[in-house]
Structure 1
Amino acid sequence: MQAASEPMFTRRFLYTLIIPLVIEQFLAVTIGMADTVMVASSGEAAVSAISLVDSITILVVTLFAAFATGGAVVSSQYLGRKDYASANSAAKQLLVLSVVVSTIMMLLCLPFRRQIISFIFGSIEEQVLSNGSTYFLYILVSLPFLATYNACASLFRSMGNSKVNLWVSIIMNLVNVIGNAYFIFSLKLGVIGAGLATLLSRIIGSTIILILIANPMNVISIRNYRRLEWRTEMIKRILRIGIPTGIEGSVFQIGKLLVQGFIAVFGTASIAANAISGSVTSFINIPGGAIGLASITVIGQAIGAKRPDQAVHYGKLLLLITYIAMTALAIPGYFLTPSIVKIFNLSADATAMASNVIRITMIFSATIWPTAFALPNFLRAAGDAKFTMVVSMFSMWAFRVAMSYFLAITLNWGIYGVWAGMYIDWFSRSIFFIVRFFGGKWKTKRVI
C-alpha cells in the first residue's frame, strides 16, 4: 500500500487526462452547431423534425451515458485496487449490457417511431412528422453503435487514456460533417442525408474503438467478443451506479423540456433569445463537464485503492481547476457578449434579452455551476449515486420547474424568471453537495 502522503497521480497524468476531454467536449458543441447550419439548407420542416427527434434521443443517450458511468466507476475502482482481472470482467459486462439494452430499445421503437413523435409533441405539421419519422429511423438503427462507442470510451477514460477518445471523436465528427455535406448538398437527400451521415459516423467510430479496446497492451482489454457472457453480479454493480445516474439524467432532461415550454408563452423573441443563450453559455461549461468525466477515473481509482485521503485531495484540486478554467472563459465572455449575440442577427428585443441572460449566466456559471454539477461526479465516482439522484430530482422539481413557473408565469418575469429558477436550482444543489462532500459520508460507500 502507498504511503498516505504519496500522491497517486502526477500532474502530467491529470493534464493528459483532462485536456483531451476538454477538446472533445468543445468539438461536440461546435460540430453540433455546424450540423444545424448544414441541415438548415433543407428547409424549416427538416430543421424542426431533426430538432424534435434529437430532443427525444437525448433521453436515450442519457441512459447509455449512465451505463457508461456505472461501468467506468466499477472499472476505475478495480484498477485502483490493482485487481485487473475484475476490471476486465466489469468492462466486458458493460459492453454486453450496453449492446443488449440498445438493441432491445431499437427493436421496440422502430415500428412505433411515428407514434412516439406524435405522443410526445402532439399535433405537429404532417411534413415535420414525416421528416421526423424518417430521421428517427436512422437514429434508432445507430443506437447499438453509439452505445458501444460510449461504453468503450468510458473504459479508456477509466484507464486514464482520454487521447484515444479524442482521436476517435475527431474521426466521427469529420465523417458526420463530410457525410452531411455530401448527402445533403450533393445528393439533396435532406433529412435522409442527415440520418445517414449520423449512422455512418457512429458505425465507423464504434468499429475503430472496438479494435482499439482489443489491444492486449491496454490495462483493460476486451479481446474475445464471442465469449461475452452475462454475469449477473457484475451487472448489478454497474447498475448500482448506472440506474440512479440514468434516472437523474432522464428526469433532468424532462424537466428542461418542461421549462422550455414555459418560454413558448412569451413569444418568438423569447424563444429565440433562450435558444441563443443556451448555445452560447454551453461553451462556458465545457471545462466543468470534462473535469467531471475525469474525476470518475481519479476519484474512482483513489477509492478503489482505499485511499479516501487522496480522493478528498484530488476532489478539491479538480474543483479548483474547474473554477479557474470556467472563470477564465466567463470573464472575456461577459465583455464579448454583445458582439457574440450580434452574430445571430436577432430582433432588437431578442438581442437585448439574450445579452442580459448570457451575462448573468456567465457570473453564475463561474461561481455556482462547479459545485452544482462537477462536485456530484466526485460523489458518484465513490459510489454515492443514490444521494446525487435524490438531491438532483428534488432540486429540479422544487426549484427549477416550480420556481421557474412561479417567477416566469405567476410574477410575469418572462424568460428572466425561467433562468432565475435555474440559478436557484444550481444554488440548492451546491449546498447539498458541498455539505455531503465535506461531511465525508460518501467515503463509506462500497461498489466493489
Structure 2
Amino acid sequence: MEGNLTKGPILKSLTKLAIPIMASSFLGTLYNITDMAWIGLLGAKAVAGVGVGGMFTWLSQGLASMARMGGQVQVAQYIGRGEPKRAHQYAQTAVQLSVFSGLLFAAVVLTFIKPLVGFFQLTDPEALEAAFSYTKIACGLIVFSFVTFTLTGIYTAQGDSRTPFVANLIGLATNMILDPLLILGAGPIPSLGVTGAAIATVTAQFIVMSILVGGIMIRKKENVLKGTHIFAAISWDSLRGICRIGIPTALQGMAYCMISMVLTRMVSGFGAEAIATQRVGGQIESISWNTADGFASALNAFTAQNYGAEKLDRVKKGYRASLWTVGIWGCLIMLVFVFLPEPISGVFFHEPSAIDTSVGYLIIVGFSEPFLCVELMTVGALSGLGKTHLCSVISILLTSARIPLAILLTATSLKLLGVWWALTLTSVIKGVIFVCAFYWVVRKIEELSL
C-alpha cells in the first residue's frame, strides 16, 4: 500500500503526510484569495454578490464531506487492519457517492436558485446579479469539487498526500492565469466580471479532478482505487459504513454553513460593505483554518490507521505533536491579524469605509485563531477514532449559540462588531471543549481494552 502510518517515527510519519496536505490547503486558500483580489477591483457590490454565491459552495462542502470523511476513515482503518480488498470496496463506494451527491446538490440549487439567493435580502441590483451569476456556474458544476474532495481523502487515507498537492498546484496555476483574463478581459477575450471568476474556479477544479483520476490509472504503485468503476453495482454494506461515519460530519458542516447564512443575513442589515467584509474576512481567515484542516486530515488518516492496528499509544503521541504544531501556527496568525489588519484589508478593499469595517473584523476574530486551529485538528483526530457523532453534537450546539449571542451583542453599542465577537467567543469555547473531549474518549477506549 502507498503509505503505512502504523510504523516508524511518529513525528516524521505525521509531518511527511501533513506538509503536502497543509500546502494543498494553503493552495485552496490562494484559490479563493486570488478570486477575491481580482473581484475586489470590480467593487464591494461584486464582492458581496460573490460572497452570497460562495455560501452555497461552502454548504456543498458539508454534503461532500459525507463521502470524503466516511471513505477516508473506513479506508484508513481497513488498511491498518491489513484488509486491502475491503479498503478498495469502501474507496469505490465513496467515489460513487460523491458523484451522486454532487449532481443532486447542483440540481437542487439550480431549481431553487431564486428563493435561495433571495434569502439574503440583497437590495442592490448589482450585488444581486453577481450572486445569481456566480451561483449558477459554481454550483451547477460542483460535482468536480465533490469528486476531488473525496479522491483527496482516499489518497490521504493510504498515506499519499503528494499527488493531491501536485494536482492542486497545477489547478492554482490555472486559476491564477484565468482569473485576470476572464474577470477583466484581455485582447479578444471579453470582460466577464463575476461570471469569469466562476468559470476560472470551475475549470481549475476540473483539472485537479482529472489529474487525481489520471494518477490512479497511470501509476504503477498499488492504490485502493485501482479498478474502480463508477457505474458498478454499489456495495450497500460499504455505503452503510460510510454513512455511519460520514453523515454526522456532513450534518456538522452543513449546519455550520447554515448558521453562517443566518449570520450573513443579519450582517446584510449593515449594508453591502459589511457582507463583503464577512466574505473577504473569511477568505483571509482561511489561511489559518484551511492549514489546520489540512493538518487535521493528515492526523485523521494517521489516527485511523493506528487505531485500526490497535496502537493507541501512537495515536496519543501523534495528537500531542499536532496540538503543539497547529497551536503555534494559530498564534502566529493571531499576531498578524491583530497587528497588521490595515495592510491586509487594503489588498481587497479600496473604499475607506470598507477597509475600516474589515480592520474591525480581523482584529476581533484574530483572538480566536489558535482555538479555531486546535478545534479543527481535534475534530480530525476524533473522526479518525470513529467519533464523528460526538464531534457533530459539540460543534452544532456551540456553533448554534452564535445566533442568539450575535442578536444580544448587536443590540448593544457594539452593533456590527457584536457579530464578530459572537464568532470569536464561541470558537474559543469550542477549542477548549474539543481538547477535553479527545482525552476523555481516549481514556474510555483504554478502559475498555483492559
Deviations 1:53-111 (A, max 9, x none): 22122101221133201111111111111211111111001001111222233344444
Residue in structure 1 matched with residue 408 of structure 2 by the alignment: 406
Query: Could you tell me how far apart the structure 1 residues matched to 2:139 and 2:273 are?
Result: 33
Residue in structure 1 matched with residue 330 of structure 2 by the alignment: 326
Query: Could you tell me how far apart the structure 1 residues matched to 2:350 and 2:45 are?
Result: 20
C-alpha contact 2:68 2:153 (8 A) present in aligned 1:
yes
Query: Could you tell me how far apart the structure 2 residues matched to 1:294 and 1:19 are?
Result: 9
Which sits farther off after the overlay, 241-250 or 269-278? 269-278
Query: Could you tell me how far apart the structure 2 residues matched to 1:74 and 1:124 are?
Result: 46
1:247 aligns with 2:220: no
How many angstroms does 1:8 deviate by? 5.0
Query: Could you tell me how far apart the structure 2 residues matched to 1:129 and 1:159 are?
Result: 44
Provide closer, same or farther for how the CA distance between residues 442 and 415 of structure 1 changes in structure 2, counting only shifts above 3 A: farther
Query: Could you tell me how far apart the structure 2 residues matched to 1:356 and 1:143 are?
Result: 33
Provide closer, same or farther for how the CA distance between residues 159 and 9 of structure 1 changes in structure 2, counting only shifts above 3 A: farther
What secondary structure, in the 3-state scheme, does the structure 1 residue paired with 2:142 have?
helix
1:300-311 matches, cutoff 5 A: 300-311=304-315
RMSD of the TM alignment (CA)?
3.0
Provide closer, same or farther for how the CA distance between residues 394 and 29 of structure 1 changes in structure 2, counting only shifts above 3 A: same
Structure 2: state its 5+ residue gaps.
1-5
Letter in 1 for 2:71: G
Provide closer, same or farther for how the CA distance between residues 415 and 321 of structure 1 changes in structure 2, counting only shifts above 3 A: same
Query: Could you tell me how far apart the structure 1 residues matched to 2:289 and 2:194 are?
Result: 30
C-alpha contact 1:13 1:160 (8 A) present in aligned 2:
no
C-alpha contact 2:368 2:428 (8 A) present in aligned 1:
no
C-alpha contact 1:79 1:87 (8 A) present in aligned 2:
yes
Residue in structure 2 matched with residue 434 of structure 1 by the alignment: 435
1:124-139 matches, cutoff 5 A: 124=123, 129=128, 132-139=131-138
Which sits farther off after the overlay, 188-197 or 205-214? 188-197
Provide closer, same or farther for how the CA distance between residues 117 and 207 of structure 1 changes in structure 2, counting only shifts above 3 A: same
TM-score calculated relative to the size of structure 1: 0.86
How many angstroms does 1:413 deviate by? 1.7
Which sits farther off after the overlay, 327-336 or 264-273? 264-273
Residue in structure 2 matched with residue 416 of structure 1 by the alignment: 417
Residue in structure 2 matched with residue 380 of structure 1 by the alignment: 383
Query: Could you tell me how far apart the structure 1 residues matched to 2:347 and 2:39 are?
Result: 19
Deviations 1:360-404 (A, max 9, x none): 4333323x2233332122111111111111111111123x22112
1:181 aligns with 2:180: yes
How many angstroms does 1:350 deviate by? 5.8
Which sits farther off after the overlay, 183-192 or 250-259? 183-192
How many angstroms does 1:440 deviate by? 2.6
Provide closer, same or farther for how the CA distance between residues 443 and 84 of structure 1 changes in structure 2, counting only shifts above 3 A: farther
What secondary structure, in the 3-state scheme, does the structure 1 residue paired with 2:233 have?
coil
Query: Could you tell me how far apart the structure 2 residues matched to 1:117 and 1:357 are?
Result: 24
Residue in structure 2 matched with residue 389 of structure 1 by the alignment: 392
TM-score calculated relative to the size of structure 2: 0.86
Which sits farther off after the overlay, 173-182 or 78-87? 173-182
Residue in structure 2 matched with residue 295 of structure 1 by the alignment: 299
Which sits farther off after the overlay, 260-269 or 181-190? 260-269
Letter in 2 for 1:383: G
Query: Could you tell me how far apart the structure 2 residues matched to 1:430 and 1:51 are?
Result: 26
How many angstroms does 1:222 deviate by? 2.7
Q: Percent identity?
A: 20
Query: Could you tell me how far apart the structure 1 residues matched to 2:105 and 2:278 are?
Result: 32
What secondary structure, in the 3-state scheme, does the structure 2 residue paired with 1:285 have?
helix
How many angstroms does 1:123 deviate by? 6.2
RCO (CA 8 Å, sep 6+): is it higher in 1 or 2? 2
How many angstroms does 1:416 deviate by? 3.0
Residue in structure 1 matched with residue 200 of structure 2 by the alignment: 197
C-alpha contact 2:121 2:268 (8 A) present in aligned 1:
no
1:363 aligns with 2:367: yes
1:221 aligns with 2:225: yes
What secondary structure, in the 3-state scheme, does the structure 2 residue paired with 1:440 have?
helix
Query: Could you tell me how far apart the structure 2 residues matched to 1:336 and 1:171 are?
Result: 31
Residue in structure 2 matched with residue 3 of structure 1 by the alignment: none
C-alpha contact 1:269 1:347 (8 A) present in aligned 2:
no
Residue in structure 2 matched with residue 145 of structure 1 by the alignment: 144
Residue in structure 2 matched with residue 211 of structure 1 by the alignment: 214
C-alpha contact 2:109 2:140 (8 A) present in aligned 1:
no
Letter in 2 for 1:261: R
Structure 1: state its 5+ residue gaps.
1-5
Aligned positions, number: 437
How many angstroms does 1:50 deviate by? 3.2
Deviations 1:126-171 (A, max 9, x none): 6655554444343244222222111111111112211111111111
Letter in 2 for 1:195: A
Residue in structure 1 matched with residue 163 of structure 2 by the alignment: 164
How many angstroms does 1:290 deviate by? 1.9
C-alpha contact 1:139 1:199 (8 A) present in aligned 2:
yes
C-alpha contact 1:24 1:169 (8 A) present in aligned 2:
yes
